[in-house]
Chain A
Amino acid sequence: MKNRRSLLAVPYVGWMALFVIAPILIMVVYSFTTAAFDPTLANYTGMGTYTSIFLRSFQLALIATAICLLVGYPLAYVMAKEGPGFQRTATVLIMLPMWVNFLLRTYAWMAILENNGLLNQLFDLIGLFDLINGLFGTDIEFFRMIRTQGAVVLGMVYNYLPFMVLPIYSVIIKLDHSLLEAARDLGADTAGVFRRVILPLSLPGVLSGVTMVFVPSVSTFAISQLLGGGTHMLLGNLIELQFLGGAYNPHLGSAIAMVMMVIVIICMWIMNRFGEGEEQAVVL
């Protein structure tokens, strides 16, 4: 019977073969050929030049994911404690900002974070700069927030936070309350209940969330262009440059994308192993 149910996935597996695997195969062909479609390895052998870009992209994505988790988990948790009406509203409110186009929101962030932007004007208004200048004898007129790596991380967190909150939230609200009560009856305090019961049980949601935040963060390009001011190139920019840049080299672009994908797959694989193990531990 269980096998019968797995037939439900057949249409999608066919779909994947057509629209996921086939395009990937095209990319693989591109990545191993030259512009004249002669076989070559050159696209891969030169990859070492971009090591620092790879490192930086993964590092920033990791930081953004960690912050999303630190903010998103408590948010999902307190949301799940609210009444059903509030919950419904909150769920949609979390996603709603994303229905406003990404570029518009990012422009708005620029206006907020600029040297002469809203936030700095606010600081000026409350006398923060006077205070600091008085205390430390410095002469600052604004905080440099835009066009830094911090702004890039902020952009990632802002854009992908909902993807962390929703899966965790949908797992937490379905937790079996009798389990929590049992734990409490057995003498666990609130922290203990959270650590021993809630956290392990909500792990599947966390794993989904981490995937959905980390993966798009690695390959983003517009965020680093606008909020990062192009000061530090990320993988997304590098790939975009190959497909939409003056040199137009989709073959190299495909190769970089392939390498990026393989690394991401390995990361996900390690994480999921860790997750599956946890799941078993919980069952035991």
Chain B
Amino acid sequence: MRKSRRIGSRFFMGLVFLFLYAPILLMIVFSFNAGNSNVVWQGFSLRWYEELFQDRTILQSLYTTLLVSVLATAVATVAGTFAAVGFYSMRRRTRSVLMNVNNIPMMNADIVTGVSLCLLFVAVFGLWNEFAANYRITLNLFGSLYRITFPELSLGFGTMLIAHITFNIPYVILSVGPKLRQMDNNLVDAARDLGCTWMGAFFKVILPEIKPGIVSGALIAFTMSVDDFVISYFTAGSSVSTLAMEIYSMARRRVSPEINAVSTLLFVVVLVLLVVVNLREARAEKAAARRGA
């Protein structure tokens, strides 16, 4: 009885994963296509991989993508976790107002978020650059005079990073929130009674409790960053571009199969990393279990 249910649940999982991975498998297969089509097979070839490694634009955009995603995820995860803990210590009414504001970037169409952030940056930078062009700081530091000119600001990697952080944090909060709701608040009080500082209570009690929420929040944030293109488009200025932006702008003509190749590589690298990490942890757990016994 138990066993059959287990088989049933594994089968169900298998079906869902098939659903999730079928298109990816297709993409991987066609990254080895000799022709440039996504539907017509013209024989096996490594042509697109060769071309990929000579394509500076794609490699550069891959680097930009990973950099902005990692940075944005790191910042968003930390800030989002703190914010969620803060939110859940507030009175319910304040919390629900803030949560609704928090949800706005998710609720808005991407294009609207992108354009409005772009307008904001341009307006602020316009004022700043006006100021920077006309004023500077003079500094009398222990007798010698220094002059610091204000830097001129323009859209670029920094603004794109800000935008990514902005749309990532809500996802972190939404993932961490349920864990906080689920957490027993008496635990924190107990820790405090036993002499923990409130920061100590945060790190020793709350953090371990909500860790799964943080992990899935970070995962979602990273994914959103990798996948986003519209918001990046409007906040990145003219000198940086991400992989997603490259792909979308190819769409008017055709998406180069090099993109299949680079995505396949990315996919395989992550998969291998995943397997390695899991094997390691499994081994460590086994060792720990043996020691325990």
Chain A residues within 8 Å of B, Cβ to Cβ: 1-13, 15-16, 19-24, 26-27, 71, 74-75, 78-79, 81, 84-85, 88-109, 111-112, 114, 117-118, 158, 161-163, 166-167, 169-171, 173-174, 201, 204-205, 207-208, 211-212, 215-216, 219, 221, 235-236, 239-240, 243-244, 250, 253-254, 257, 260-261, 264-265, 268-269, 272, 276, 279
Contact partner, B263, options A104, A201, A204, A244, Cβ 8 Å: A104
10 interchain residue pairs of minimum CB distance:
A9-B86, A108-B23, A23-B116, A12-B83, A204-B178, A8-B86, A78-B9, A219-B109, A5-B89, A6-B89
| Contact status B104-A261, CB under 8 Å | yes
What is the CA–CA distance of A13 and B79 in the complex, to the nearest angstrom?
10
What is the CA–CA distance of A207 and B102 in the complex, to the nearest angstrom?
15
Nearest residue (CB) in B for A236 is B109
| Contact status B178-A91, CB under 8 Å | no
Within 8 Å CB of B19, what residues of A? 158
| Contact status A108-B85, CB under 8 Å | no
What is the CA–CA distance of A221 and B181 in the complex, to the nearest angstrom?
34
| Contact status A5-B166, CB under 8 Å | no
| Contact status B107-A4, CB under 8 Å | no
What is the CA–CA distance of A163 and B219 in the complex, to the nearest angstrom?
10
| Contact status B174-A174, CB under 8 Å | no
What is the CA–CA distance of A79 and B98 in the complex, to the nearest angstrom?
32
Please tell me if B55 contacts chain A, counting CB pairs below 8 Å: no
Interface string of B262-276 (1 = CB under 8 A from A): 010011001100100
Query: Provided the pairs A12-B82, A20-B101, A102-B227 are in contact, do residues A88 and B281 lie with their beta carbons within 8 angstroms?
Result: yes
What is the size category of the interface that chain B forms with chain A?
35 or more
Within 8 Å CB of A169, what residues of B? 216
| Contact status A250-B115, CB under 8 Å | yes
Please tell me if B220 contacts chain A, counting CB pairs below 8 Å: yes
What is the CA–CA distance of A99 and B20 in the complex, to the nearest angstrom?
12
Please tell me if B179 contacts chain A, counting CB pairs below 8 Å: yes
Please tell me if B51 contacts chain A, counting CB pairs below 8 Å: no
